[in-house]
Amino acid sequence: MAPMASTVRDPAMKPETREVIEAHRAAGRSFEAGGVRSFVREQGSERGGAVVLVHGVPSSSFLYRKMLPVLADEGLRAIAFDLPGLGLAERPVEFDYSWTGLARWLGEAIDTLGLDRVHLVVHDIGGPIGCEWAVHNAERVLSLTVLNTMLDPATFKRPWSMAPFATRGVGSAWLRGTPRPAFRRLFLAQGIADRSAITVAEIDAYYYLLRRGDGGRAFLRIMRGFELTDAKRRLLWTGLGERPYPARIVWGELDPALGLDQLEIAQRVLGVDDPTRLPAKHFLQEDQAPAVAQAIADLAAPLG
């Protein structure tokens, strides 16, 4: 399938931001899975172990751009694609944006890309989404690396930075009323410990990729689709507790949204006593990319 044409158009977008988005787009290609057209970036030899990098909100495959070459240098095949409703993916109105629906689509994307067995890396809501697929497809998972995420849906409370987006009407107003400067401040405060690691143009790329095409309506549906239930917890805890593959935790210990309480839950669920703790906030892929990628590679590379 041909590379995806540019679809991010806004007369207010600065040239340097457009250049960042276009470089990202040009580094990948479009594909279709489950009836949804999406976007994928891949780097590394096809002979290397496949590492599937699952993003959360309000991000996309753009989040992993710095990690792809590091994983490739370790002999792995690094793969990051956009979930429906985010990044350069389509935003179909008739789509199940719940964690269950996104997990189903994740599996369809993995199948479409011809991936048999994978090393799975999950972040943010990519945790419950990716882990649900892993629970149902344990024989296809070679390893699991968990980055700042939530693995106890029954007790998880949305932090203040996420809560408004989950309320119908309020979320739309909040998103419309968040100009780029406010988005930048929030992104830095919640996500970045070393501010020298990211440019304003890159932060603005997150802003435009989130709102592309529909003004962020699909993102709001995702935020309202959290399945914070006992049933989802039982599914994840039972399946992950019985998993046949190794797991690793890599955590930004300064994360104000998904902090050390969520780390402790992840340790209990996965039975991991020695998490890798990094001096980072929520988006550790931005300012700790080499360290995160190396931790993934140390687990994945020896397993093939």
Q: pLDDT tens digits for 209-252?
A: 999 999 999 999 999 999 999 999 999 999 999 999 999 999 99
Q: Lay out the sheet containing 118-124: strands in order across.
A: 29-33, 36-43, 77-81, 50-54, 118-124, 141-149, 247-252, 276-278
For residue range 179-194, what is the model confidence (pLDDT) as tens digits? Answer: 888 899 999 999 999 9
Q: What is the pLDDT of residues 104-148, one digit of tens each?
A: 999 999 999 999 999 999 999 999 999 999 999 999 999 999 999
Vertex 124: Cα angle to 110 and 146 (nearest 5): 70
Residue 257 DSSP class: S
Domain limits of the chain? 15-149+159-303
Q: Residue 12 — pLDDT band, cuts 50, 70, 90?
A: confident
CATH fold label, 15-149+159-303:
Rossmann fold (3.40.50)
Residue-level pLDDT at 176: 74
Using an 8 Å Cβ cutoff, are 165 and 175 in contact? yes
* Residue 64 DSSP class: G
Taking residues 7-12, what's their average pLDDT? 68
Quote the pLDDT of residue 2. 37
